[in-house]
Each structure stands twice: as structure tokens, then as C-alpha cells.
Amino acid sequence: MLAKNSPPANTRLLANPRLPIAAVALVAAGAVALLGPDSGLRPARASGDNLSQLGSELNAKQSQLNANQAEQQRLSSRLAGLRQEIQTLSNQISLVQSREAEVAATLRYDQAKLSRAEDALRQEEARAAELRRELGRARHILAAQLVARYEQPQPNLVSVVLESHGFNQLLENLQFLRNAENQMQTAITLTRSAKAQAEAAKVRLSHLASKDRQLTAATEVQAHALQGMNQLLHSRQSALTDVRSAQQSALGAAQARGAQLRTAIANVRAQQQAAEQAAAAAAAARAAAAQQAAPSSSGVSAVPSGGWAIPASIVMCESGGQNLPPNSAGASGYYQILPSTWRLFGGSGPAAYLASKAEQDAVASRIWNGGAGASDWVCAGIVGIG
């Protein structure tokens, strides 16, 4: 229909021009064909109850789809957070592994240094032991010589002279005695000095080995701590990876459910459209039959009747007397009024079918305007009014 005194481009209720009776019959046949066994849709009854049921089902499916989309957004956000956490853990693991490698290298160096110090200490200990044995032997020889000198009679000048075969031998005998004693004293002195050096080296190497052992132990503690930290981070990363896999599975299931809901919504809308077309075709067919059964077109009353604000025949043609939800063009309610026309003639709310019958009657009465607006309804021409 076309709202009175308004631009025709944006206020027409029905997009189709007035149809002749034969065209209405063809539309009805097409609607029946849409609901055939190969259409994939449930056969829709041309009644307000069926359209209302389809509207409720559509609203329910849309609510489920909205909830599904919200769930998908929540899962996607959670997955993004998990990916960030896993990346952070990967960076921390890389850092710990790098530090662990450095500590391991330091530990190997300390262990090698400790091994060298212990080897040197063992060598000095062996050297000191050998020098102690040498010193003991030198002292033993010196003591034996002293005892022998004490037990033997002291040689006097006469005996030395008499026993010597010439002056040169005498000098050699005297020099030999002095050299032997000097060499023994020198050997004892050198052995004592070497022993003292060996003991000092032993003490120094012992301190060095002790320090190296402390450093090695501290490095081992660091290595164990880093190893434990590495294991902990890997365990945390594995747990987060499992959670991410579960979230990805849940997101995939939600996406599949969303696709099913969109398919169901498309099917319901197709059923709703088919039901609307069938209802309109059936109403038009009834109106055409009524017109053919009437003795003449002048017999159709143009006066509102049957509790309606416009002639009942127009109402039956437009909506079948049902408060229909919006059709594909947006018209709704008992009188099939477009939202723009509804607002233009003082209707409240976004659409006619959401208002009470009394308000729809009042708006339709203003559009009808005592019959002056009859041409605003396509069905008025179909039933022979206007």
C-alpha cells in the first residue's frame, strides 16, 4: 500500500503493482511449488500461528548465534593470550638455556683447573716425600761418619805424614777429608732447602685446590638451579600448550556450531518467506474467489466492517486477519503497513505488528481516511474497492 500524502518512492507497502486475478493464481501456484518435496523446507501453513512460530524460532536461533559468536570471541581472545604466554616462556627458556650453557662451560673450566691443581699437589707431595727420604739418608750417612770418627783414634800429624807417600799425597788426603765433610754439609743444606720449598708448595697448592673446590661447588649449585628452572619452564610451557590445544578444539567446535546455526537461520528465513508468500497468495486467491462469486464489483462494500478500520475484504487479502511479522518488504501487522508509513501516520514503536490491535486500527483508519486512501492498499484493487 502507499501512504497518503507521502512520497511514493519510500512509503509503498507492497512492492508489486496491482495484480490481475490470473496473476494471483499463478503466484499461489508458485508458492505451492516452493513447498514441494524437493524444496528442502517444511510445508508452511498460510496462517498467522505458523508465521509467529517461525518468527519465534528465528529469534531463538539468532540468540543462539549471538551467544555462539560471543563464545568464539572469548575463545579467540584466550588463545591470543595463551600464544603470548607461550612465546614469553619460550624466550625465558632460551635465556635460561643460554645461561645454563655458560655455567656448564664455567663448571668444566673450574673442574679442569681443580684437576690440574690436585695433580700438582700430588706431585709436590711426592717430591716432598722423596726429599724427606733423601734428607733422612743424608743425615744417616753424616751420623755414621760422626760415629766412625768418634770410635776411631784421631789421626795426628805424624801418622798422616808417615802414612802418606809423599807430600802430594799428604795434601790430597787432607783435601779429601775436608771435601767429604763439606759435600755432606752442602747436601744436607740443599736437601733441607728443597724440603722447605716442597712443603711451601704443598701448602700453596692445598689452598689453591681448596679454593678451586669451592668455586666448582658453587658453579655446580648454579648449574643445578638453572637445570631445575629449565625443567619448570618446560613443564609450564607443556601445560600451556595442552590448554591451547583444548581451546583450539573448543573454538573449532564453536565455529562448526556457528556454521550450523547460520544454516538453520537461513532455512527458517526461507520457510518464513515461503509461508508469507503462501499466505499472501492464499489471501489473494480467496479475495479473487469472493469477487468472482459476487454478482458485480459494485456489490463489494467500501465501508469498514467486521471490527476492522478498513473493509474486511482488504484485511483478509492483505493478512488473512492475522498480526503477521514483517515480510520481505518489511510490511507487518493486520493491515500490512511498512515501518516508514507506520511512523508517518503516528504509529509508536519500530513496526506495526509490535503494537496493539487498537493502535493498528487507529493508524489504518488515518491512512484509509474515509475511503480516500483505499488505493494505498494493493488488495483494495484486487477485491474491487478503490
- For residue 5, what pLDDT is reported? 37
The Cα–Cα gap between 378 and 338 comes to 13
187-229 confidence digits (pLDDT tens): 788 888 888 888 898 899 888 889 889 999 999 999 989 989 9
| Mean pLDDT of all residues in 307-317 | 94
Closest by Cα among 315, 292, 330 to 364: 315
Share of the chain above pLDDT 90, in %: 45
pLDDT for residue 270: 87
Q: What is the pTM of this model?
A: 0.42
Q: What's the domain range around 355?
A: 1-34+294-386
pLDDT at residue number 299: 52
Residue 16 has pLDDT above 60, yes or no: no
d(CA 45, CA 278): 8
Q: Answer whether residue 310 shows pLDDT above 70.
A: yes
Query: Lowest-pLDDT range, 68-72, 113-117, 162-166?
Result: 162-166
Please say whether the beta carbons of 184 and 141 come within 8 A. yes
DSSP 111-142: HHHHHHHHHHHHHHHHHHHHHHHHHHHHHHHH
Q: What is the pLDDT of residue 173?
A: 67
Q: What is the CATH number of the domain that holds 30?
A: 1.10.530.10
SS3 category, 40: coil
Neighbours of 212 (CB within 10 A): 19
Q: Is residue 145 part of a domain?
A: no
Task: Give percent of the chain above pLDDT 70.
Answer: 74
Name the least confident of 129-133, 148-152, 270-274, 302-306.
148-152
Residue 12 has a pLDDT of 37
Contact 251, 72 (CB under 8 A): yes
SS3 355: coil
Q: Which residue has the higher pLDDT, 9 or 82?
A: 82
Look at 178 and 37; give whichever has higher pLDDT: 178
**352 grid coordinates:** 506495526
Angle of helix 21-34 relative to helix 167-293, nearest 10 degrees, comes to: 140
Helices assigned H by DSSP within 304-353 = 312-318, 339-344
Report yes or no on 30 lying in a domain.
yes
- Write down the pLDDT at residue 15: 33
Per-residue pLDDT at 132: 86
* Contacts of 274 by beta carbon, 8 Å cutoff, 6+ apart: 31, 34, 35, 39, 41, 44
Better-predicted residue by pLDDT, 32 or 303: 303
Q: What is the pLDDT of residues 261-298, one digit of tens each?
A: 999 999 988 887 787 777 767 766 665 665 555 444 44
Q: Is residue 172 part of a domain?
A: no
Neighbours of 248 (CB within 10 A): 13
pLDDT tens digits, 322-357: 999 999 889 999 999 999 999 999 999 999 999 999
pLDDT number for residue 272: 77
Q: Could you tell me if residue 160 is inside a domain?
A: no
Question: What is the rounded average pLDDT of the residues 23-33?
Answer: 36
Per the domain annotation, does 309 fall within a domain?
yes
- Give the closest residue to 97 by CA, choosing from 218, 229, 220, 215: 229
Domain membership of residue 88 (yes or no) is: no
Query: How far, in Å, CA of 364 to CA of 350, rounded?
Result: 16
**How many structural domains are present in the chain?**
1
Cβ(103)–Cβ(268) under 8 Å?
A: no
Predicted confidence at residue 83, as pLDDT, reads 92
- Secondary-structure percent of the chain, ordered helix, strand, coil, rounded to 5: 75, 0, 20
Instruction: Report yes or no on 13 lying in a domain.
Output: yes
